[in-house]
Amino acid sequence: MTMNRFPDNFLWGASTSSHQVEGDNLYNNWWEWEKSGQIEPSGKACDHYHRFKEDFRIAKELGHNTHRLGIEWSRLEKDEGVWDPKEWDHYKEVIDELIRLKIEPIVTLNHFTLPLWLAGKGGWENDDIIRSFSEFAKKAVQELGSRVRYWITINEPLMLAFIAYFQGKWPPFKRDLDSMLYVTNNMLKAHVEAYQKMHEASNTGSGIRAPEVGIAKAVATFHPCSKYSISDRISAFLRANFKDHSFIRSALSGRSRFFPYINEKLPFKRSLDFIGLNYYYREFVHHKNPVLKNPFGWICSGAHHRDAGKRTTVGWEIYPAGLYEVVRSFSRYRLPIIITENGLSTRDDTLRREFIKEHLVYLLRAIKEGAPVRGYLHWSLLDNFEWSEGYDPRFGLVHVDYKSQKRTIRESARYYASIIRSGQIQ
């Protein structure tokens, strides 16, 4: 292929998640933590729960033909086993609005937050979650499946397991390797069960669209801390080619393998219809002791790397070629790839424009070389609640004034719109 433009029918848009934009998500474990006063509370967030029509109008004006959104489990199932029909109706209305605007919805079922009743039972550490989550996924297809084709079961499973169960920085604040691994495996099992039930539900229900079910996987690109260190290079290679692929490889092979700890048969194989990639930054890997322990080495802060790119306000290195590298790496499964998140926190809109341009240059290069990329979703449509970082980071194509809830489209968003319109990078 020699064409210099993105394919026709390319999915273009932006991503959000329920807790980060909706406001007043009173019944989940994040809201509970926010009440402790240890972090900035999400409060009304972008009040997207009520302002979704205005927000989707903006997305339409910007030429988006796709939008990734979350449905908030804790609203839909406030108590175990009890669905709230009003909340299902709400999401039907939300999704109908997208459809009316000819914007394809991509729906995430779980984006970090858990209903309080489930968190109270041990959340991802309790095996019950496999059934609870897969029942939720089935119900979602029954309720919304005539409208929705693309589904993401779990957002960034390993990231959540790492931050919440190993680093102890997010609820439930565990600092335990065993918990992290257990949770990772439960997320995989929950995904696999959900995948199965979603497909079954679509076969039995009338008028349900054949679902395409994936996960959104956080991916970094890994480079050796020192090009001259063999052990650094080996560790970076192992991270990029084995560790970072473990969840996807397990979901496809039907065997859960998180080297060297878990090796377990799963009930089903090939539990992915597409791969969602969330790409933000490069990591530098070092390994002082090549013989002992941890073949994957350690992540260095990167602060002393003189050739590193600019950093965003949350400290992530901007490294556009990394998008090309991860797409190439995940193309090996020959499944469709959707970039389900890519973006930056900055107050410098020129930097956002450059970021978009350069990442899309690399994405187009991967596509021209045959990578099966179906879409690109920028993170995020709106400035929003950035988890424990609160409202300071600005990730939006659209600026939000949280006091007045006024939306202002940034120039970078218009630039992105011009690429969408022409299919070419100007």
Contact positions toward ligand FCB, by CB under 6 A? 17, 20, 155-156, 159, 218, 278, 341, 379, 386-387, 395
Burial 35-58 (b: 16+ CB within 10 A, else e): eeeeeebbeebbbbbebbeebbeb
- Distance in Å, CB of 341 to ligand FCB, minimum: 6
- Distance in Å, CB of 308 to ligand FCB, minimum: 19
φ/ψ of residue 214, rounded to 5: -140, -175
Q: ∠ CA 205-209-215 to the nearest 5 degrees?
A: 110
Q: Which is nearer to ligand FCB, 229 or 278 (CB)?
A: 278
Going by C-beta distance under 8 Å and a sequence separation of 6 or more, which residues neighbour residue 263? 255, 256, 257
Q: Which is nearer to ligand FCB, 244 or 341 (CB)?
A: 341
Instruction: Give the whole-angstrom CA distance, residue 359 versus residue 340.
Output: 14
Q: ∠ CA 85-34-125 to the nearest 5 degrees?
A: 70
- Distance in Å, CB of 291 to ligand FCB, minimum: 34
- Distance in Å, CB of 316 to ligand FCB, minimum: 9
Q: Which is nearer to ligand FCB, 27 or 170 (CB)?
A: 170
Instruction: Give the whole-angstrom CA distance, residue 49 versus residue 39.
Output: 22
- Distance in Å, CB of 298 to ligand FCB, minimum: 20
- Distance in Å, CB of 156 to ligand FCB, minimum: 5
Q: Which is nearer to ligand FCB, 383 or 386 (CB)?
A: 386
Q: Which is nearer to ligand FCB, 336 or 396 (CB)?
A: 396
Residues counted in the chain: 426
**Number of other CB atoms surrounding residue 207 within 10 Å:** 8
Measured between alpha carbons, how far is residue 192 from residues 195, 251, 272, 340 in Å?
5, 7, 8, 20
Helix/strand/coil for 18: helix
User: What is the 8-class DSSP label of residue 392?
Assistant: -
Q: Say if residues 27 and 19 touch (Cβ distance below 8 Å).
A: no
Partnered with residue 12 across adjacent β-strands are 376
Q: Could you tell me whether strands 274-286 and 298-300 are parallel, antiparallel, or unpaired per DSSP bridges?
A: antiparallel
Q: Which is nearer to ligand FCB, 90 or 111 (CB)?
A: 111
Q: Say if residues 7 and 1 touch (Cβ distance below 8 Å).
A: no
Q: Which is nearer to ligand FCB, 48 or 139 (CB)?
A: 48
- Distance in Å, CB of 219 to ligand FCB, minimum: 10
Q: Say if residues 367 and 7 touch (Cβ distance below 8 Å).
A: yes
- Distance in Å, CB of 318 to ligand FCB, minimum: 14
Q: Which is nearer to ligand FCB, 72 or 232 (CB)?
A: 72
Q: Which is nearer to ligand FCB, 107 or 266 (CB)?
A: 107
Q: Which is nearer to ligand FCB, 91 or 385 (CB)?
A: 385
Q: Say if residues 311 and 318 touch (Cβ distance below 8 Å).
A: yes
- Distance in Å, CB of 17 to ligand FCB, minimum: 5
- Distance in Å, CB of 70 to ligand FCB, minimum: 9
- Distance in Å, CB of 424 to ligand FCB, minimum: 27
Residue type, 152: I
DSSP string, 269-337: S---SEEEEEEEEEEEEE-S-SSSS-TT-EEE--TT-TT---B-TT-PBP-THHHHHHHHHHGGG-S-E
Q: Which is nearer to ligand FCB, 355 or 395 (CB)?
A: 395
